[in-house]
Amino acid sequence: MLECRNCGAGAPVDEHFCPQCSRILALGRHGDYFSFFGLPRKLVIDPADLERRFRDLSRKFHPDYFYNASPTERLASLERSSYLNDAYRALKNSVSRVEHLLAIEGLPPAKYEDPSTGSGQVGGKVPPSLLEEVFALNEELDEIRERRESGADPETLRARLEKARAPIDVKRDEHEQQLQALSARWDSQQSAPPAEKRATLDALRERLLERNYINNLLATIEREVASLAGGGQPATGGHG
């Protein structure tokens, strides 16, 4: 519950204005972007509806409306406007929407070990489903680097990098489809037993871990392509 600092009345945490005196409420400790927008915890969202809700709340929270209000209300409008922007950015993107859902459902973030080992290979903790692709990519990158250092034609090496990229692109497309399917499954499980919902959340997190690793593989290939254009050594480290 929130307490109105104007009249002292209590209000549900999802309320933006006091039910008694209609003054804007201090943000307090919220944390759930879905409920802030008045939405259920579902992953398939109508973009037009989200946009409409965002613009409606933006108008209601806009600091210009509270120019002559008390300092407490002016601060509340700024806090809610800032939080609204953060929530909108998170929910409008399908991946960050999943990441937020995992966070508010109590799962650890989908982080992976940095694949940059400093040895010129893509290493780190490889997701089991990507072992074959990572092994093949490392072999190809090693050979391409050796040929580059021996003065091979850059265009020929660039063509090999594009060929090496193809199976990684396929994996990325597969994961996008899997994320969409799991998102739809989650939305259908609102009344499902906790164990079933947890299994879907775990699967979503695993797909995100793999997706992040795939993005890093693609970034590694892009760095190699850039090194061919610049004639220097490929950049190491960092995330794609």
Is 120 part of a structural domain of the chain? no
Is 210 part of a structural domain of the chain? yes
The structure tokens listed for 22 are 């209609």
Give the gyration radius of the chain's Cα atoms.
24
Amino acid at site 66:
F
| Contact in structure between 171 and 214 (CB atoms under 8 Å) | yes
Instruction: Give the range of the structural domain holding residue 60, as residue numbers without chain letter.
Output: 2-92
Q: How do 2-3 and 10-11 pair as beta strands?
A: antiparallel
pLDDT at 87 over 50: yes
Check residue 198 and give its pLDDT. Answer: 97
| Contact in structure between 164 and 139 (CB atoms under 8 Å) | no
* 104-134: pLDDT as tens digits: 999 988 775 544 444 444 545 778 888 888 8
92, 107, 139 - which closes a domain? 92
The answer on 147 and 53 residing in a single domain is no
| Nearest in space to 145 (alpha carbons), one of 227, 216, 222 | 227
The answer on 146 and 83 residing in a single domain is no
The answer on 135 and 78 residing in a single domain is no
Q: How many structural domains compose the chain?
A: 2
* 150-160: pLDDT as tens digits: 888 889 999 99
Check residue 120 and give its pLDDT. Answer: 45
Helix and strand numbers (H, E) in the chain are: 7, 2
Q: Where are the alpha helices (DSSP H) in 93-150?
A: 94-104, 131-149
* 23-46: pLDDT as tens digits: 999 887 778 999 999 999 999 999
HEC sequence for 19-79: CCCCCECCCCCCCCHHHHCCCCCCCCCCHHHHHHHHHHHHHHHCHHHHCCCCHHHHHHHHH
Indicate the range of 58-62, 131-135, 195-199, 205-209 predicted with least confidence: 131-135
Rounded to 5°, the CA angle 16-18-23 comes to 90
Structural element, H or E, at residue 80: helix 71-92
Largest CA distance in the chain: 78
33, 66, 92 - which closes a domain? 92
* 172-205: pLDDT as tens digits: 999 899 999 999 999 999 999 999 999 999 999 9
Average pLDDT, the chain: 86
76, 92, 108 - which closes a domain? 92
Domain at 81, CATH number: 1.10.287.110
Check residue 202 and give its pLDDT. Answer: 95
Is 102 part of a structural domain of the chain? no
| Nearest in space to 141 (alpha carbons), one of 40, 61, 86, 217 | 217
The answer on 160 and 78 residing in a single domain is no
